Amino acid sequence: MIGRSFVQRLGWRSLGALVVGALVVLSAAGLSDGARPAPRASNHARATVSVTVTVGSAFAFAPSDFEVQPGDTVNFAFVGTDTQPHNFLLVAEANYSFPSGAGTSTLLSYFTHHPPLVNLTVGSSPVTVTATFTAPHLGVYEFVCTQSGHFASGMYGFMGSGVMVTNGQAYDGPGGPVFLIGGGIAGLVILAIVLAFVIGRRRGSHDEMPPERLGYPEPSQQPPKLP
């Protein structure tokens, strides 16, 4: 009786709309699971941007993460604030990062075979050096200092081209788990509606109030007499 009353109050049209909507959510969950969002740079007009990275005695780049958009003209400034020599080499290969324990020889060997997108050096005295480059295609690009022991001390960072980067990790949006949760909830709603309807149909006759309880005489079970 509960299921039938629920369906009657809801109305068949509303019930159908709710079921269709839930199925759409489930379909979106299946199609969107693990999918990356559309690149933010898809409709981006090429522009000229300025980026400054500073380095000092702390053996760290500041900032260690920054973002550009593919095709931008980047006016880059590398600022050294002390007399310690440092360099800035930007990897030209998207989504490549050095192992955390990589030594100076590993870094230099890599750049010998893969020329960097940017290669700047500061030292001897506080100085600013500059370079201009075109932001590469969508991806995350690591930059490092190849001075002996500097990379191991934390002198590395990441440039996101068309993606946001935080601590070397690209932001992908909510991703599959959120869609799976939404799809699961929609599935439970559909299941609850179906069960309520089925149970209501099975229990309908059992829960109906007898006619005599409503004040009507119960129809006679005797066959009518023939004249």
Q: Is the same domain home to 193 and 154?
A: no
> 45-78: string of b/e by CB count within 10 Å (b at 16+)?
eeeeeebebbbbeebbbeebbbbbbbbbebebeb
Q: Is the same domain home to 95 and 165?
A: yes
Domain that holds residue 156: 48-170
pLDDT of residue 124: 79
**Mean pLDDT for the stretch of residues 138-153:** 96
Average pLDDT, the chain: 76
Asked if the structure places residue 223 within a domain, the reply is no
Question: How far apart, in whole angstroms, are the C-alpha atoms of residue 112 and residue 10?
Answer: 71
Torsion of Cα atoms, 80 then 108 then 168 then 100, to 10°: -110
The sheet with strand 139-144 has its strands ordered as 65-68, 156-161, 139-144, 86-90, 118-122
Q: Is the same domain home to 56 and 165?
A: yes
81-90, 123-132, 162-171, 175-184 — which is least confidently predicted?
175-184
pLDDT of residue 101: 86
Tell how strand 156-161 and strand 65-68 pair up.
Answer: parallel
Q: Which of 151, 170, 189 is the last residue of a domain?
A: 170
Q: Is the same domain home to 16 and 65?
A: no
Domain count, the chain: 2
pLDDT at residue 3 above 70?
no
Asked if the structure places residue 41 within a domain, the reply is no
Asked if the structure places residue 56 within a domain, the reply is yes
Angle between the 2-10 and 12-32 helix axes, to the nearest 10 degrees? 90
Report DSSP state, residue 125.
B
Q: Is the same domain home to 80 and 108?
A: yes
Q: Is the same domain home to 78 and 134?
A: yes
pLDDT digits over 14-32, tens only? 545 454 454 544 444 444 4
Half-sphere exposure of 178 (CA within 13 A, CB side): 7
Asked if the structure places residue 87 within a domain, the reply is yes
Asked if the structure places residue 216 within a domain, the reply is no
Q: Is the same domain home to 88 and 157?
A: yes
Q: Is the same domain home to 142 and 67?
A: yes
Structure tokens at 132: 């201009």
Q: Is the same domain home to 95 and 141?
A: yes
Tokens 């993606």 belong to residue: 163
Question: How far apart, in whole angstroms, are the C-alpha atoms of residue 135 and residue 160?
Answer: 9
Q: Is the same domain home to 200 and 137?
A: no
Asked if the structure places residue 220 within a domain, the reply is no
Q: Is the same domain home to 76 and 149?
A: yes
Asked if the structure places residue 124 within a domain, the reply is yes
Q: Is the same domain home to 52 and 136?
A: yes
Supply the CATH number for residue 121's domain: 2.60.40.420
Question: How far apart, in whole angstroms, are the C-alpha atoms of residue 144 and residue 150?
Answer: 9
pLDDT digits over 169-207, tens only? 665 544 444 445 555 676 666 766 766 665 556 555 555
What global pTM score does this model have? 0.59
Asked if the structure places residue 126 within a domain, the reply is yes
SS3 at position 194: helix
